[in-house]
Structure 1
Amino acid sequence: MVGRRYSLVDRVIAQFDAGVQTLYGRPRGTGRPSPANELPEPELDRQERRKAARLMRVNHCGEICAQALYQAQAITTRNPALRQTLARAAAEENDHLAWCEERLMRLGSHTSYLNPLFYIGSLGIGALAGAAGDRWSLGFLAQTEEQVVQHLSRHLQRLPRQDRPSRAIVEQMRLEEDGHASSATAAGAARIPRPVRQLMRLSARAMTGTTYWI
């Protein structure tokens, strides 16, 4: 019903359903087609295909973590406008999630078996950030997205040059993640302390280092 004010319990139930869809279904995005769709499938040797698949698996898990962060912050915020902003960004992230999964299937690989573990961890981190207040929640979001942009830039350097479909996906993701960071900053994000930023980088390395292989 339009205009209905949802209770905390309502939001928790809705986000639980979103979590199940994120991990095991096809969560709702914006409906945009993958940037890879119009590009021909490249000729990759076994080593190149394996490397591209591992990098895209890391990117897919990163989008799983992003969804968990957005969902947790949507539960904890009391600001309806911020909740709508998070929902719009989450829809774009769901597009990224679908694009990465589709690309993995084309590369003959699979998503990470560790996705549920990292989802739960990110959900907890997002809830803590949200409980600290909207400015800190936005600050955490902005810092996360800034680190993701750096991570995607490194992947563009590592992906096989001829794998244009994977590169097109990563380039579009990088553009939109940068936009999410800018939006969070413009909305009044607090500056995250340096020790916390360093801890976030260490956590990201743990995720990328394991999901590359598993």
Structure 2
Amino acid sequence: MRQISPVDKVIMIADNALKTLFGGYQVTERANPTESATLKSSIQETIPLTLEEQKNAAGLMRINHCGEVCAQALYQGQAMTARLPEVRDKMAQAAAEENDHLNWCADRLKQLDSSPSFFNPAWYIGSFAIGAIAGAVGDQWSLGFVAETEHQVVRHLDNHLQKLPEADWESRAILTQMREDELQHATTALAAGGADLPVPVKKIMGVMSKVMTSTVYYV
């Protein structure tokens, strides 16, 4: 089997980045959660979103889409520097599953007549660097970083589920499924030996998350 060279790795990293930011990524065969949401909505009285509700839903989904871009970058960065093969495999598998979320959020943004954030490339680069550093520090810390990231994402999703317009069944179905998947990723990371991160690190992650959400909501 041909050994992967440094040049090959650079090409793979660039390919993953381009696919994450501009499309072409591999998704699973899971159905979009909006299919069941549309069915449920059709059973009840259909209430169209007002312009203000549509803008709010789009802003929230833009944040979640950017969050998935960051997740892809984190996992790719960690997979690049992880020391144990099984940890690299877990990072790659998690990234593949997150592609579903990325795809669902992108589709929903189109339905809401909106678009992803212009800041996505910058957030991808920063997240990839953080992931690479976390992987280089050690696998237990890398896995712990994944677990804490997912737990923070779950808290954001809980908040967004409360803020979504009541009539927006489609966005709610997507975020509900995402929440379930993120919890599973966090559990898997901890079970694989992830360490509990120091409180200062968790707080820094929280601050960075707030900066992202406060800007991406609008553009």
Distance 1:12 1:37 in 2: 38
Give the aligned residue type for 1:17. Answer: D
Distance 2:6 2:180 in 1: 33
Q: How does 1:148-159 map to 2 (within 5 A)?
A: 148-159=153-164
Query: Cα distance, 1:50 vs. partner?
Result: 0.7
State the Cα deviation string for residues 6-58 of structure 1 (Å, max 9, x = none): 45543342122111100112311213221013433751110111100100000
Q: How does 1:36-47 map to 2 (within 5 A)?
A: 36-40=34-38, 43-47=48-52
User: Given the superposition, is the C-alpha separation of residues 81 and 204 from structure 1 closer, same or farther in structure 2, using an over 3 Å criterion?
Assistant: same
Distance 1:161 1:88 in 2: 34
Query: Cα distance, 1:154 vs. partner?
Result: 0.4
Give the aligned residue type for 2:155. Answer: Q
Q: How does 1:107-146 map to 2 (within 5 A)?
A: 107-146=112-151
Distance 1:7 1:85 in 2: 22
CA contact (8 A) 2:83 2:138 kept: no
Distance 1:30 1:85 in 2: 16
Distance 2:3 2:101 in 1: 29
Where do 5+ consecutive residues of structure 2 fail to align? Answer: 42-46
Residue 35 of structure 2 aligns to a residue in which SS?
Answer: coil
Residue among 27, 40, 63 paired with 2:25: 27
Give the aligned residue type for 1:88. Answer: Q
CA contact (8 A) 1:30 1:95 kept: yes
Distance 2:82 2:6 in 1: 10
Percent of pairs identical after alignment?
53
Q: How does 1:134-213 map to 2 (within 5 A)?
A: 134-213=139-218
Residue among 9, 16, 19 paired with 1:18: 16
TM-score relative to the length of structure 2: 0.92
Query: Cα distance, 1:91 vs. partner?
Result: 1.1
Residue 25 of structure 2 aligns to a residue in which SS?
Answer: coil
Distance 2:64 2:35 in 1: 18
**Backbone CA RMSD of aligned residues:** 1.4
Q: How does 1:53-92 map to 2 (within 5 A)?
A: 53-92=58-97
